[in-house]
Structure 1
Amino acid sequence: MNISVILGHPYTYSFNAAIAATAAEALNKQGHHVLFHDLYGEQFNPVLPDTELVSDVPEDTLTALHQREIREADGIVIIHPNWWGQPPAIMKGWIDRVLREEVAYTFPKGDNGGGVPIGLLKAKAALVFNTSNTPAERERQIFGDPLEHIWKDCVFSFCGVNVFERKMFRIIADSTPDLRRKWLEEVKETVAKYFPHHKESPST
Structure 2
Amino acid sequence: MKISVILAHPYNESFNHAIASKVTQTLKGNGHFIYFHDLYGERFEPVITPEELISDKSEDPLIIQHWKEIKETDGIIIIHPNWWGQPPAILKGWIDRVLRENIAYTFPEGDNGGGLPIGLLKAKIGLVFNTSNTPKEREENVFGDPLHRIWKDCIFDFCGITKFDRKMFRVIAGSADRERKKWLNEVVDMVNKYFPKKIL
Percent identical pairs in the alignment equals: 65
Other-structure match for 1:109: 109
What 5-or-longer segments of structure 2 have no aligned partner? none
Q: Distance in 2 between matches of 1:172 and 1:100?
A: 33
Q: CA deviation at 1:50?
A: 0.5
Amino acid at match of 2:57: V
Q: CA deviation at 1:117?
A: 0.3
Q: CA deviation at 1:197?
A: 1.1
Q: Is the 8 A contact 1:58 1:97 kept in 2?
A: no
Other-structure match for 2:124: 124
Q: Distance in 1 between matches of 2:112 and 2:124?
A: 28
What 5-or-longer segments of structure 1 have no aligned partner? none
Other-structure match for 2:186: 186
- Which 4+ residue blocks in structure 1 deviate beyond 2 angstroms? none
Per-residue displacement from partner, 1:62-119 (whole Å, max 9, x unpaired)? Answer: 0111111111110100000000000000000000000000000000111111110000
Report how many residues are paired. Answer: 200
> Any residues of structure 2 matched to 1:1-204 within 5 Å, and which?
1-199=1-199
Per-residue displacement from partner, 1:112-143 (whole Å, max 9, x unpaired)? Answer: 11110000011121100000000000001111
SS of 1:42 mapped into structure 2: coil
Q: Distance in 1 between matches of 2:105 and 2:42?
A: 26
Q: Is the 8 A contact 2:128 2:165 kept in 1?
A: yes
Q: Distance in 2 between matches of 1:59 and 1:8?
A: 23
Q: Is the 8 A contact 2:124 2:160 kept in 1?
A: no
SS of 1:28 mapped into structure 2: helix
